[in-house]
């Protein structure tokens, strides 16, 4: 669990170490309404919501830091991801079963908030999956910018397994 979270976060760092500031901050409209930097900041917000929940026992993904400097600086984003990695590495196996309350808005028509019980493990799984989803969007933004990204960036673990299994079958046939 911990190792997989580190692997997911390191994918972002590989991207951040190669992207130009111009590509990181550019909004490729009309196809996209936000920059790659906005997506990275959004991923960071989710991990920070979980971390904050450790002290409050309430995880609230609706608390966001929109428009902050992380959206403008790949270097700052990289530093923040390093901080998150350090925090995750300190999580003990026994803490993964800790119960929290998840609070989140559930309607776009009116403000409706739902709360449910969850665990730290479940929310880390969600944050990792959520990050990969946003990596896939960043990959599409990068394609629109004619920039190169790692071929595994934005590929879900189950999809990677499927690709490996099919490539093995294809080489046998």
Residue-level pLDDT at 145: 96
pLDDT per residue as tens digits for the range 88-137: 999 999 999 999 999 999 999 999 999 999 999 999 999 999 999 999 99
Residue-level pLDDT at 12: 98
Q: What is the CA radius of gyration of the chain?
A: 17
Domains belonging to the chain, first-starting first, are 2-172 (1.20.120.450)
Q: What is the pTM of this model?
A: 0.91
Residue-level pLDDT at 44: 97
Number of H helices, E strands in the chain: 6, 3
Instruction: Give whole-number Cα distances, 31 to 58, 108, 116, 147, 164, in Å.
Output: 35, 22, 35, 16, 31
Token couple for 28? 């490729």
Residue-level pLDDT at 160: 87
Edge to edge, what strands does the sheet with 113-119 contain? 58-60, 99-105, 113-119
Query: How does residue 173 score in pLDDT terms, banded at 50, 70 and 90?
Result: very low
């Amino acid at each position: 669990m911990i190792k997989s979270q580190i692997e997911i976060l390191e994918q972002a760092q590989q991207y951040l170490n190669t992207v130009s500031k111009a590509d990181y901050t550019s909004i490729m409209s009309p196809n996209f309404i936000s920059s790659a930097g906005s997506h990275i900041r959004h991923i960071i917000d989710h991990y920070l919501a979980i971390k904050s929940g450790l002290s409050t026992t309430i995880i609230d993904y609706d608390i966001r830091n929109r428009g902050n400097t992380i959206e403008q600086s790949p270097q700052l984003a990289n530093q923040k991801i390093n901080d998150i990695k350090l925090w995750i590495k300190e999580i003990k196996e026994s803490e993964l079963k800790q119960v929290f309350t998840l609070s989140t808005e559930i309607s776009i028509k009116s403000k409706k908030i739902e709360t449910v019980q969850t665990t730290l493990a479940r929310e880390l799984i969600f944050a990792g999956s959520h990050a990969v989803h946003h990596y896939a969007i960043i990959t599409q933004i990068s394609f629109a910018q004619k920039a190169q990204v790692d071929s595994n960036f934005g590929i879900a673990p189950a999809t990677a397994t499927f690709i490996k299994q099919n490539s093995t079958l294809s080489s046998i046939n």
